[in-house]
Structure 1
Amino acid sequence: MAAELQLQLTKFAGPLDLLLHLIKTQEIDIYDIPIAQITDQYLTYLNEMEQLALDVAGEYLVMASTLMAIKSRLLLPQSKVEQLDQGSVEPEDPRQALVDQLLAYQTYQEVSHYLGQKAQQRARYFTKEMSALPKQPVQPLPKDLVTTTEMAAALAHLLNQQAQDQAFVNQTIDRDVFSIEEAQDWVKQQVLAAGPQQLKFTALLQTPVSREQVIILFLACLELMKNKVITCFQATKDDEILVSGEVVA
């Protein structure tokens, strides 16, 4: 019997763990704990621990005191003074604080068990170590090819100039008329019509009748550049950006 108890006692993580074990093994309703019964069994476990020369942790002794205090409050009759003070208010159950602790600890156990199962499942899989990515060769841009940064700078300059000229004052914007897809088609038509002759980027952006359409047309040009439908050049940073339908390899 002593050896059996020793095996059981060493597996408990603390007094709440021991109490939950007593409640579950006897199928006791955790919301209606028979304190006298549980207290006697709990103290029996502590006595067995002492007989086996096991150190009784302070937290176990604190819980023993708590159980005995609750047991005493339940056994002692309520005084008339306390009854008058409480009036029609239902008296607080002395077990409630302990029940709340047990429920919280039970939730902790369930979550811990769930995470432990997930960890065991994950341990069955082996992840391949990260491979070193091969270095990609750096391909310099062809000479005079315009970057998106330079395109954005040209757009900002154009919008600022048009704002100073009040080009779009009191104009109505129809958002459904000029989509990015339609703008791409329009740019391709302009480039095709120009043939081998290169178009000025600012000339393309001056065609729309609203500030919003200028921005949409700019985005359309960027999309066409990304898809290698058009190419934009600039000899120097002060020169005009030229648009061509000839794609640079």
Structure 2
Amino acid sequence: MEKLLFKLQEFEGPLDLLLHLIAKHKLNIYDIEISALLEQYLGAIEQMQRQDMEVASEFLEMAARLVHIKTVSLLPRHEEEQEELKRELSGQLLEYQAVKEIARELFLQNRSGDIFVRAPQPLPVDMLYTRSHPPVDLQKAYDAVLGKLGRKLPPPVTAFSGIVHRRVVSVSSRILFILRRLYEKSSLRFHSLFERGEDRSELVATFLGVLELAKSGRVRISDDNEQITLNTTHKRR
């Protein structure tokens, strides 16, 4: 059957009580005055009993041990036995005192209940990636990286080809073109001038050229806007 332990007042056992009495009455733990210690110890036991507290058997056993040491000291020619018993008791008290001190320091170091941990230790870092992934995950990761890089890159040159590389057609060049056609044929269908237009810049320049020629009187446009004719009576300034 497991032995029951009792805590009386603030003392956890007879050795704890003895250390308290030695400290309280400033007794020498290395050369204990057994008579004074026994008197104080029996007084503490009596006080416990007056408070209707059940005194554990180890407290009574320590009282009997102190009585025995005192009895031996009173007998003649038993000085060596007396010193041996006192040294044994002092050794137990010193050992118990050291254990209490260590327990107190551990309690102060405790930060999480009953778990005691050491300080973090530096660990070597292994930079080798050892995890295994299915090919599908690797393909998705690769595509995601390409997508992010693509968003950070500037637009390609082809995105500006319609603006930067657009051919610029001057109005004067289209005026010469219209006049050459009219010198070959004095009259042309208006829409025939736009049939071979390659881009919008050329069409706009051709239309502006017709307006400029009509404004200067070098060509005439029919009332239905279908025919354009060279004005042979126009005189150059």
TM class by smaller structure: 0.3 to 0.5
Normalising by structure 1, what TM-score?
0.41
The structure having more radius of gyration, on CA atoms, is 2
- Higher RCO by CA contacts (8 Å cutoff, separation 6 or greater): 1
Normalising by structure 2, what TM-score?
0.43
